Structure 1
């Protein structure tokens, strides 16, 4: 029988964590930005990767202001050459990547008749294909070292219909969840874990840009409408999702792989 640990091993001390999508689509804290800061607070060296240098630099600056370790890496996760380059730059700066947080995602409102093949290809390239190239950069080294962790960010839109058509986003997020599980099962015997976090309705800067018009013209009304949808009576925060991700990347989750952790305030469990 193994001895009981003296404390919960919720730490990422000295581990190199690469966050794809570490910026924010607007002022405030996205899931990616909150995750970057959380990882740094747990002792990680954080690779803040984003296509928007200014937004990534803002995240990096916030981490450094707290005494944490972070560096910005700029590239488009829809472009294979960019992904290969920024992972190489990160490894040169910090050393081998110990953990990957794959946070990128785009969408387009609309059902089958409003979604073109070009729309689906573009969204698939960011939401799904980018994980293939990113995983190819980190999995060989993780398997060789016998240690590594991957967390991907899906959505409850990949589990159920949320009341408005969001076909390309939902389909690709469903694919991302299964993609993660397949990685987990193939690499489970080589010390590499992969899990998917499934956020529900989260109050992030994205609401102001892409969600508000689905409910009301006023952003406060949109937030209130989304709050009412959730059994807990409120949307989640980016920090609550980030904390779930940190748990899964840490040794506290050493026996957890190939699963989906739903962070949604009970949304997917309600009957209507």
Structure 2
């Protein structure tokens, strides 16, 4: 405990549905449990309040801020409010994402642009405004919540999501190398099959049949070498580790949190 004492964590995409725990909510709570002050940001006030309630229940010092992270002016303002409240930003956590089902033929250009803006531009803008705060102090950690889909072909028809996450991995590596001498680390976390409200709500790439539209947890669990889905707390554990001094020599890396499924998919692809 206390690995992040006196740190300030800016968590973009911190909200959660009341029906479950999102990756953003779990990471915000986990940062707080390790002693960080949490500045939780989401464009959905209702979802944000779910996370703020969880932080309060844990006795975590936290502030909620409603902002659309695709809007540059709102991002700049959010960073300013956080710094004004807590003095700095030690941890930037980018956890915003969406997807549209389909390949290049099925999805529209508007769908493509929307997913790129939500998944990738939000991370770019957050870095744009948080990095000067970090480099001025020669200290900071950035974590991008990417996806296994950006590295391996799972056969899913979410081409915009996969492409945006692959780009996020490269963004993380570029930010890491460009700012290493300034004391800022940056890494991407790649969740695999994680039981989040978002995953349960979208048409599944691991449905029992091609006609199924709901997330099929038993089938998904069978695909994971460890035999079960991951939870948002698994993602949060990785985030806390990377944000802590335990990971002080780790930057520019991609960390899979996937129960081993990425290796089996890659092997199957190579065999094919």
Same fold (TM over 0.5): yes
Q: Which stretches of structure 1, 4 residues or more, deviate above 3 A after TM superposition?
A: 211-214, 216-219
Secondary structure, in 3 states, of the residue corresponding to 1:56?
helix
Matched, 1:172 2:164: yes
Number of the residue aligned with 1:222: 216
Q: Which range is displaced more, 200-209 or 182-191?
A: 200-209
Question: Displacement of 1:212 after TM fit?
Answer: 4.5
Secondary structure, in 3 states, of the residue corresponding to 1:49?
strand
Number of the residue aligned with 1:185: 177
Residue by residue, what CA displacement relative to the aligned partner does 1:131-169 show, whole Å, maximum 9, x if unpaired?
121111111121111110000011111012223211000
What is the CA–CA distance in structure 1 between the aligned matches of 2:219 and 2:185, rounded to whole Å?
37
Secondary structure, in 3 states, of the residue corresponding to 1:227?
helix
TM-score (norm: length of structure 2): 0.92
Q: Note if contact 1:18-1:47 (Cα within 8 Å) is conserved in structure 2.
A: yes
Matched, 1:231 2:228: no
Gaps of 5+ in 1: 1-8
Number of the residue aligned with 1:35: 27
Q: Note if contact 1:10-1:247 (Cα within 8 Å) is conserved in structure 2.
A: no
What is the CA–CA distance in structure 2 between the aligned matches of 1:187 and 1:155, rounded to whole Å?
23
Question: Displacement of 1:55 after TM fit?
Answer: 1.2
Matched, 1:269 2:249: no
What is the CA–CA distance in structure 2 between the aligned matches of 1:36 and 1:77, rounded to whole Å?
17
RMSD: 1.7
Number of the residue aligned with 2:121: 129
Number of the residue aligned with 1:142: 134
Question: Displacement of 1:68 after TM fit?
Answer: 1.0
Question: Displacement of 1:211 after TM fit?
Answer: 3.5
Equivalences, count: 263
Gaps of 5+ in 2: none
